Chains A and B, each alone.
Chain A
Amino acid sequence: EDQVTQSPEALRLQEGESSSLNCSYTVSGLRGLFWYRQDPGKGPEFLFTLYSAGEEKEKERLKATLTKKESFLHITAPKPEDSATYLCAVQELSQKLVFGQGTRLTINP
């Protein structure tokens, strides 16, 4: 059975303080690993898809990386508007996504 574990559960940073969020996964055949951002009261919003170990993708202050067992979401010089819950999900052979529990990120000004 697919498993996705995210850490930490919650993270508080000062504006400009860089850090990383972790997503560890167990899946028999990875088709893709997804990162989504979720704001309170909203649905998840797509950020990245990673397909194979060694792949990296960037968007503004965010960079996602992938190994055979985990993915990292690196946040460089974050701003208060980056505060949200970040969700990691894996897709195996079926169309469904298996999500982790998320990391609640708070950036203090």
Chain B
Amino acid sequence: GAGVSQSPRYKVAKRGQDVALRCDPISGHVSLFWYQQALGQGPEFLTYFQNEAQLDKSGLPSDRFFAERPEGSVSTLKIQRTQQEDSAVYLCASSLVGTPNEKLFFGSGTQLSVL
């Protein structure tokens, strides 16, 4: 596919469960971002990778959130011991080179519902 692919599209978890969200960026894109979007709000930054290096994780809300991109392509966002406040759409985005002001290409997101 030509775009950013995220899976699963929807995830329902019981409170306390661990979840893993996957992002396949556009092939060859160096930079990868994770954003969290609550209902009716704009996306909020979580973390940023350049290749396999996690350069900024200042937006991760707690140590229950963990992201990795071990081979510089696919990325996984893991949330441990999910809480109701984790319910949101998790968006992944990639960009070609990783220079400032470069436009981002977003996936359609994973909608997480924690019951």
Residues of A within 8 A of B (CB): 4, 6, 31-32, 34, 36, 41-46, 49, 51, 87, 89, 91, 94-102
Contacts and interface: CB of A to CB of B under 8 A. Distances in A.
Interface size class of B (residues with CB under 8 A): 20 to 34
Contacts of A101: 40-42
B100 A45 contact: no
Interface stretch (B64-72, B80-88, B102-110): B102-110
A87 B29 CA distance: 23
Contacts of A4: 42
6 pairs of A and B residues whose beta carbons are closest in the complex: A43-B106, A99-B42, A96-B45, A32-B101, A46-B103, A44-B106
Contacts, number: 62
Nearest to A31: B100
Interface string B15-42: 0000000000000000101000000111
A99 B101 contact: no
Interface in B54-101: 55-56, 58-59, 91, 93, 98, 100-101
